[in-house]
Structure 1
Amino acid sequence: MSSNPQSLSGNEIRTLFLNFFAERGHQILPSASLVPEDPTVLLTIAGMLPFKPIFLGQRTPEFNRATTSQKCIRTNDIENVGRTKRHHTFFEMLGNFSFGDYFKEQAIAWGWEISTQVFGFSPNNLVVSVFEEDDEAFAIWRDQIGVPEARIKRMGADDNFWASGPTGPCGPCSEIYYDFHPERGDENIDLEDDSRFIEFYNLVFMQYNQDAEGNLTPLQKKNIDTGMGLERMAQILQKVPNNYETDLIFPIIETAAKIAGIDYHKSDEKTKVSLKVIGDHVRAVVHMIADEIRASNVGRGYILRRLIRRVVRHGRLIGISGEFITQVAETAIALAESAYPNVRQREAAIKAELQREESNFLRTLDRGEKLLEEIIQQVKQQGKTVISGESAFTLYDTYGFPLELTQEVAEENNLTVDEAGFDVEMQKQVERAKAAHETIDLTVQGSLDKLAEHIHATEFLGYTQPAATAKVEVLLVGGVAQEAAEAGTDVQIVLNQTPFYAESGGQIGDRGYITGDGVVIRVDDVKKESDFFVHFGRIERGTIRVGDTVTAQIDRACRRRLQANHTATHLLQAALKKIVDEGISQAGSLVSFDRLRFDFNCPRALTVEEVQQVEEQVNTWIAEAHSAKIEILPLAEAKARGAVAMFGEKYGEEVRVIDFPSVSMELCGGTHVSNTAEIGVFKVISEAGVASGVRRIEAVSGPAVLDYLNLRDKVVKDLSDRFKVKPEELPERITTLQNELRTSQKQLDVLKGQLAIAKSDSLLQTAESVGDYKIIVAQLDDVDAESLKTAAERLLQKLSNGAVVLGSVPEAGKVSIVAAFSAEVNKKGLQAGKFVGAVAKICGGGGGGRPNLAQAGGRDASKLPEALTQALSDLKAGLS
């Protein structure tokens, strides 16, 4: 217990909660992954979700009591994030659970005890709610706990009755609220008033089973499911106005604010909202990537991508133009690592994914700007003055343009935006998000979920059989179940058994054919959805029907290439451990027909000699002809023998072990050669860094080596012909040309700099005085961005106290603008980064930088004089 509960940090609150219930017989369990085992839910949305099979009677619990701090993601109210005090996408739910053990009386007593004695809340600050028909809970609160009747509120089923779905376990709940203003009295208490009340602890009494007609039957074993919001508790205990200003989130916000060169507490409400969104979303994406979620256009991958893009958008709204998310993510990682060590362990993967997505989206934003220009031209050509809500929403949803930015650009062109139409499109998006929030109903997976109870899991025969007779269990066209399909149709087929390997563990799916009575289907890919192998292909001839008996035949040549590359990947990891560092571990892999890729954790680049030694070691093992030993073992035994497991991979109680004795032993479900000699030869193509602490080796093996060498030979011959030298003379010839080019470029840069300085010196005579400040705003023709920056810095040095804004058109269609401000100008509230970004918008561009020096670009050179005129006017106004 804390001697001063009102000063608790978020980490201390979490620890106190878990320890309180551990002392009362609860098993502390780690947070489950954000990727739930329940296939009907995209993300872990509540603390009880990992225990849902227990509550449904599908699994026997190992403990009768448990307590957790569960990380959760919800996106159904994403538009409220940052705008309200307590809406989040990522949050932590503290919970205590009873599986047929204690019930209402004990749960309520402990709920009151931890609230008042551990967290130190005065009873005068607490109000409770109960289900309107739950007289038992009402009596416990009043008679045993001593809460005055006036502070026990009966609520309807919408607020205080929990159900897992239309049928199944359910029951009333009781909630504990914190009252920030008890001095207002107990009359007319309105728990919906979030300026006065905040619900922080929900106790669910799971006592009934509900049937399809809505009838309630008492459960033989009654359960307790509770949830205490960690962020809400931190807000109350740390006495801050909202969840975002707690120590769980605010350091992330401060990092973003520092990058933007602003002060959160001095910012307007609009800027604060953007900073809160950044703080919340960065926290969310860090944990999502730590739990192996990758950005994509479907399912949970789409949610991750959407959150990252919202961070970028809000970064631009507060003046950040370049990449910044990885810097903010470092703060989020540091905050999380004590409670969730996997976040720090996955740091390299997190930053690599964020950097890649941010970089790609920034390019998308650039395309969005071009689309907006086209929309504006179309509107003007049609003689209209309003950009449609649909167009504005397309810019927002597809290209990441905030409505405010579209409105600003429209206003500059004497246009307006149909905001009501935009809101209609946004509401449609919200409804789509809500529909997708609770359940997965995505193409193939959605259809398979509906059919799952009628079909059996696919039996995989491919380890020993290249072909098999099978029955068509499911036929999908575009993800929709069909009874039959004809030639020319792209289909997805589920068989009762198959020799085709489904994409898994980095190895891509097999190719081949499914044939039957007059039908031929070319299979291009195979993926595993839950327990079903889905064959993606195209009907080349005939008609396929559900229930047909067919022959499934893999492409043996492709399979042999996959086997060679997959075994070579295992040998590569073993060689890296032996030659470079025993601590090297896999961070990802790809096993394809034509190549292999292996990502591994390593803090430094490999030397040329090390890469060569690794390659030689793999080829030595290949030549030594080591035979494979494949066993199915208990997981604990496999690890005890020294089998290498991939971090983050989920394994069952029994695992498949691929062992090349004295060389490599790994847990792996992929296909492999029976003897290393079958690989033939191994060749490293490249070694490079892909993220902080993560390196990547790309290589080829077997027949792919010949393909690689033939291509290289062709390229060398072509270069030799062009340079008219022998192949062995190519390096020397290219080095000579590079040296000549570098010398010429240096000379050109020197001349450009000298020209810019010469032009800029003449501008000193044009400096204007505004009070104690000197300002220069001018255009220098044919000066590149770097030289323009040099000129601005030189002029400011000579002015000493003032501001310089220079513009140039270094090449057709491009504008460069630089702003240099002295410290005294900064003290007047003018910052070069924000200033130059606003000026550049006039030229159809943007930019930013430090308060004292910043650069921006644009695309409309004809608007540069207008932009500089505006800059002069704004400087005079700001310094007056």
Structure 2
Amino acid sequence: MSSFPQFLSGSEIRQKFLDFYASRGHQILPSASLVPEDPTVLLTIAGMLPFKPIFLGQRSPEFPRATTSQKCIRTNDIENVGRTARHHTFFEMLGNFSFGDYFKEQAIAWGWELSTQVFGLPPERLVVSVFREDDEAFAIWRDKIGVSPQRIQRLGEDDNFWVSGPTGPCGPCSEIYYDFHPERGDEHINLEDDTRFIEFYNLVFMQYNRDAEGNLTPLANKNIDTGMGLERMAQILQKVPNNYETDLIFPIIKTAAQIAGIDYASSDEKTKVSLKVIGDHVRAVVHMIADEIRASNIGRGYILRRLIRRVVRHGRLIGIEGEFTTKVAETAIALSESAYPNVRIREAQIQAELQREETRFLKTLERGEKLLEEIIQQVKKEGKTEISGESAFTLYDTYGFPLELTQEVAEEEGLTVDVEGFNVAMEQQQTRSQSAHETIDLTVQGSLDKLAEDIHSTEFLGYTQPVSQSQVEAILVDGFSVEAAEAGTSVQIILDQTPFYAESGGQIGDRGYISGDSVLVRVEDVKKESDFFVHFGRIERGTLRLEDTVTAQIDLACRRRVQAHHTATHLLQSALKKFVDDEISQAGSLVAFDRLRFDFNCPRPVTPEELQQIEEQINTWIAEAHHAHTEVLPIAEAKAKGAIAMFGEKYGDEVRVLDISGVSMELCGGTHVSNTAEIGLFKIVSEAGVASGIRRIEAVAGPAVLEYLNVRDKVVKELSDRFKVKPEEIPDRIANLQNELKASQKQLEALKAELAFAKSDQLLSTAQTAGDFKILVAELGEVDAESLKTAAERLLQKLGNGAVFLASIPEPDKVSLVAHFSPDVNKKGLQAGKFIGAIAKICGGGGGGRPNLAQAGGRDPSKLKEALETARAQLLEGLQ
């Protein structure tokens, strides 16, 4: 049998994967955000998700081949995290993709080469699976790769046929498994035995389209979509029993254990599970917050909040009393920053969000402890010795109070807990959740559904009224309905009527206050759930109770700012149609208090001249004081009048039409100025592409323009003071500095070349003789690649008949190599291009060139000595 593969760090595995496919024509693309562009998916759950529009034929690929390391989050198996060897919420998926380029045979060959030659996995330890009907893949594995038929398993549709949904692109897949116990033989291979096998690489052959009747027809372009689990490959190569003990996660676990004052190795299994949960979840929340997800009770914000609370709960289970998540996050940030710099850039936001959520949840736990005390007193009063499973589950579900803590406190009081009843209640909740949705219930919708029978939908008054007298219909805390809430509590409030606009159509929700005789609530956001307007806020003083009569008042200054921005987006679309292309249509927008963002379909960038025309036209329309009128019309009548609808948007029988006289007429339910003069000013900040065929303009309007200009005026003044020139002279001063810098760089390069020549001349005496040839192999310090090449040419000229191989380390993590061979060396069968390519691999790089002169690079200076010794030995052997 082959020897066990060498240890590789998680970072090395990631880089070797990307380098392998980059050397085979794949474009290395950065990881997409955990917040996907696809609105049908809450989080990025797979490496292929960013390419879904390409696979669906909705977008043309920029490159025929690509490779990525994609950060992903899945929470469908969250209860298994820490309990199995390989379940995670956060993981990295290494992938290579072909968009109608290569197909099965090439994908399989490269997958095998990567696994066995780059990662050094012994072939006899690998087992592959194919779809039961995929004879082509079976034959490739058997005949082209040479895998024994006994180690090729045919599996059914559930395991080896990938689908994107009931209809659409699909195809068979082939998976590669690592065998921890090949000594058990090939007679009874069971790939479901995860004590023996781990699936680490999945190759999807996307070759069919499935229609509504289930019929499969071949796709015009056959695609490849693969995924290798970074954590799984790390487990294999680092020889650890599970993914958690790899260098990708274990340092986080060690930090948590140190805070708790315990040792992981000597801990019992329950403690290890808690430590693993902390290690996994902290990775997840660090990356989620870095990708600008904020904790809330809705959508992906709810997932973030739930993960943070699980971290805190498991911290309590292992004996951590105070706040600790920010300390553990420091380790997670340090582990991730080299591959994902945004976690360090957003470190302050990560720490602030964690501290805020942890502090808030610790208070929730305190409320749970008070309720538990009341339950214990009631149980004793009734002469019982057991806390009911229903009570224990209420503590867990409503207050996040772990069952283990309930049991621990109960034991101190001489009581037990009905664990079986708790489990029944848990199963009932999971059944309700699964029947409602295939993933976790991520909104307050469940509570709203229960309330819907007792309360009416919210009446929106905000088009005409900034203030209303309203009645409190419902109060929710942490997604659960309560009768009252006190100062300091974050709440969601439903009123019978409201002036607050709920986030919709790109326009963010209003801000403001809800107040009563002795209560004040700051409203920070408003969202629409079903027919209810949910006001998200924090009680600043007093107690809010159900059926209170309150005053709801929006922040008029904020409303005016957002109205200016929203109406400006309509002017922007009209100007784009006028100056760029009449076929332009809106593809998305954001209307906020401080800015607007407008996405639109356009195959090319908008030129600077066009942007200037657009800006001037919009400011002209503003100065002309066009009346902006809104009215509600039947949709057919609105379209007949020429109102523009947003493509893909769903409208009811009646629609709200914004008519800016002489400029624009569009369907829009947002809030707007009554006259364009109210906007004041408009300024374009940027224009850029955000996706294939989609451009984005960001701009400011109204008071936000002054804020924007003030910032830039400050920068201009600072530059003017620093350069001691007038503002209008700054561009010339910078141009002069750039020219001076270029001249200095040329002088520096010349000095480096002279230094290289000086060093190289000293090396002539170290040349070795091999038959009729002279061989010189040496390192020249920090010399750049161009100077290294010049030095090699000069040395060979002085040596005469022979070979020169030089190396340098121009940067801390970069190696430069050059090989220069005389014609007679080529006649001996040594080619500089092929020779240097093989040597460069030792330093984690590659390269090539002509038979007589070639250059290469690498990323691992620590292996340079080994590379030079190998080059010397091969030259001596080849030329003796």
TM-score norm. by structure 2 comes to 0.55
User: Within 5 A, what are the aligned runs for 1:374-389?
Assistant: 374-382=374-382, 384-389=384-389
Q: Which residue of structure 2 lines up, in the alignment, with residue 431 of structure 1?
A: 434
User: Within 5 A, what are the aligned runs for 1:107-118?
Assistant: 107-118=107-118
Distance 2:57 2:671 in 1: 45
Distance 1:250 1:151 in 2: 33
- For the 8 Å contact 1:90–1:280, the answer to whether it is kept is yes
Q: Which residue of structure 2 lines up, in the alignment, with residue 301 of structure 1?
A: 301
Tell me the CA shift for residue 557 of structure 1: 9.5
Deviations 1:818-872 (A, max 9, x none): xxxxxxxxxxxxxxxxxxxxxxxxxxxxxxxxxxxxxxxxxxxxxxxxxxxxxxx
- For the 8 Å contact 1:235–1:246, the answer to whether it is kept is yes
Q: Which residue of structure 1 lines up, in the alignment, with residue 228 of structure 2?
A: 228
Distance 1:163 1:441 in 2: 31
- For the 8 Å contact 1:205–1:225, the answer to whether it is kept is yes
Distance 2:100 2:709 in 1: 57
Tell me the CA shift for residue 545 of structure 1: 6.5
Between 1 and 2, higher relative CO (CA 8 Å, sep ≥ 6) is seen in 1
Flag the 1:678–1:19 CA change in 2: closer, same or farther, 3 A: closer
Tell me the CA shift for residue 371 of structure 1: 1.5
Given the alignment of the two structures, is residue 51 of structure 1 paired with residue 104 of structure 2, yes or no? no
Flag the 1:391–1:671 CA change in 2: closer, same or farther, 3 A: farther
Deviations 1:36-89 (A, max 9, x none): 000000000000000000000000000010000000000000000000000000
Q: Which residue of structure 2 lines up, in the alignment, with residue 701 of structure 1?
A: none
SS in 2 for 1:6: coil
Distance 1:399 1:252 in 2: 26
Tell me the CA shift for residue 388 of structure 1: 3.6
Given the alignment of the two structures, is residue 546 of structure 1 paired with residue 549 of structure 2, yes or no? no
Flag the 1:378–1:111 CA change in 2: closer, same or farther, 3 A: same
SS in 2 for 1:83: coil
Distance 1:548 1:563 in 2: 21
Q: Which residue of structure 2 lines up, in the alignment, with residue 630 of structure 1?
A: 683
Tell me the CA shift for residue 399 of structure 1: 1.5
Q: Which residue of structure 1 lines up, in the alignment, with residue 699 of structure 2?
A: 668
- For the 8 Å contact 2:47–2:71, the answer to whether it is kept is yes
- For the 8 Å contact 2:96–2:227, the answer to whether it is kept is yes
- For the 8 Å contact 1:131–1:157, the answer to whether it is kept is yes
SS in 2 for 1:217: strand
Distance 1:532 1:248 in 2: 42
Given the alignment of the two structures, is residue 266 of structure 1 paired with residue 271 of structure 2, yes or no? no
- For the 8 Å contact 1:293–1:301, the answer to whether it is kept is yes
Tell me the CA shift for residue 95 of structure 1: 0.4
- For the 8 Å contact 2:28–2:66, the answer to whether it is kept is yes
Tell me the CA shift for residue 372 of structure 1: 1.5
Tell me the CA shift for residue 220 of structure 1: 1.2
Q: Which runs of 5+ in 2 are unaligned?
A: 450-502, 509-527, 534-551, 553-562, 570-588, 597-627, 635-645, 660-667, 711-880
Flag the 1:218–1:556 CA change in 2: closer, same or farther, 3 A: closer
- For the 8 Å contact 1:632–1:655, the answer to whether it is kept is no
User: Within 5 A, what are the aligned runs for 1:335-414?
Assistant: 335-382=335-382, 384-411=384-411, 412=413, 413-414=415-416
Deviations 1:369-421 (A, max 9, x none): 11122233344455555434333223223312111111222333355442332
Flag the 1:182–1:333 CA change in 2: closer, same or farther, 3 A: same
Q: Which residue of structure 2 lines up, in the alignment, with residue 800 of structure 1?
A: none
User: Within 5 A, what are the aligned runs for 1:215-294?
Assistant: 215-294=215-294
SS in 1 for 2:293: coil
Distance 1:677 1:654 in 2: 22
Flag the 1:560–1:396 CA change in 2: closer, same or farther, 3 A: farther
Q: Which residue of structure 2 lines up, in the alignment, with residue 796 of structure 1?
A: none
Flag the 1:369–1:670 CA change in 2: closer, same or farther, 3 A: farther
Flag the 1:423–1:633 CA change in 2: closer, same or farther, 3 A: closer
Q: Which residue of structure 1 lines up, in the alignment, with residue 36 of structure 2?
A: 36
- For the 8 Å contact 2:686–2:699, the answer to whether it is kept is no
Distance 1:437 1:42 in 2: 11
SS in 1 for 2:703: coil
Q: Which residue of structure 2 lines up, in the alignment, with residue 587 of structure 1?
A: none
- For the 8 Å contact 1:410–1:416, the answer to whether it is kept is no
Distance 1:347 1:651 in 2: 31
- For the 8 Å contact 2:302–2:442, the answer to whether it is kept is no
Distance 1:432 1:378 in 2: 35
- For the 8 Å contact 1:365–1:399, the answer to whether it is kept is yes
Distance 2:505 2:287 in 1: 34
Deviations 1:304-359 (A, max 9, x none): 00000000000000000100000000000000000001111011111110111001
Deviations 1:628-680 (A, max 9, x none): 562476439xxxxxxxxxxxx99997554xxxxxxxxxx5355436778999x
CA RMSD, Structure 1 to Structure 2 (Å): 4.3
Q: Which residue of structure 2 lines up, in the alignment, with residue 70 of structure 1?
A: 70
Deviations 1:138-169 (A, max 9, x none): 11101111111110000010000000000000
Deviations 1:500-521 (A, max 9, x none): 9897455499xx9976599xxx
Tell me the CA shift for residue 253 of structure 1: 0.3
User: Within 5 A, what are the aligned runs for 1:698-777?
Assistant: none
Tell me the CA shift for residue 428 of structure 1: 3.2
- For the 8 Å contact 1:393–1:425, the answer to whether it is kept is no
User: Within 5 A, what are the aligned runs for 1:630-709?
Assistant: 630-631=683-684, 634-635=687-688, 654=695, 656=697, 667-669=698-700, 671-672=702-703
User: Within 5 A, what are the aligned runs for 1:111-150?
Assistant: 111-150=111-150
Q: Which residue of structure 1 lines up, in the alignment, with residue 176 of structure 2?
A: 176
Flag the 1:393–1:201 CA change in 2: closer, same or farther, 3 A: same
Percent identity of equivalent pairs: 68
- For the 8 Å contact 1:129–1:175, the answer to whether it is kept is yes
Q: Which residue of structure 1 lines up, in the alignment, with residue 8 of structure 2?
A: 8
Q: Which residue of structure 1 lines up, in the alignment, with residue 423 of structure 2?
A: 420
Q: Which residue of structure 2 lines up, in the alignment, with residue 86 of structure 1?
A: 86
SS in 2 for 1:279: helix
- For the 8 Å contact 1:42–1:437, the answer to whether it is kept is no
Tell me the CA shift for residue 21 of structure 1: 0.4
Tell me the CA shift for residue 240 of structure 1: 0.3
Deviations 1:512-570 (A, max 9, x none): 9976599xxxxxxxxxxx999999xxxxxxxx963476888998899999989xxxxxx
Give the partner amino acid of 2:243: N
Distance 2:91 2:633 in 1: 56
Tell me the CA shift for residue 6 of structure 1: 1.9
Distance 1:236 1:178 in 2: 8
Distance 1:241 1:128 in 2: 22
- For the 8 Å contact 2:210–2:217, the answer to whether it is kept is yes
SS in 1 for 2:190: coil
Flag the 1:168–1:650 CA change in 2: closer, same or farther, 3 A: closer
- For the 8 Å contact 2:379–2:385, the answer to whether it is kept is yes
Distance 1:422 1:460 in 2: 40
SS in 2 for 1:191: coil
Instruction: Tell me the matched-pair count.
Output: 535
Flag the 1:534–1:341 CA change in 2: closer, same or farther, 3 A: farther
Distance 1:461 1:389 in 2: 45
- For the 8 Å contact 2:44–2:72, the answer to whether it is kept is yes
SS in 2 for 1:141: helix
Distance 2:226 2:33 in 1: 19
TM-score norm. by structure 1 comes to 0.55
Distance 1:242 1:371 in 2: 39
Structure 1 stretch displaced more, 550-559 or 273-282: 550-559
SS in 2 for 1:198: strand
Flag the 1:677–1:459 CA change in 2: closer, same or farther, 3 A: closer
Q: Which residue of structure 1 lines up, in the alignment, with residue 531 of structure 2?
A: 478
Give the partner amino acid of 2:438: A
Flag the 1:669–1:133 CA change in 2: closer, same or farther, 3 A: farther
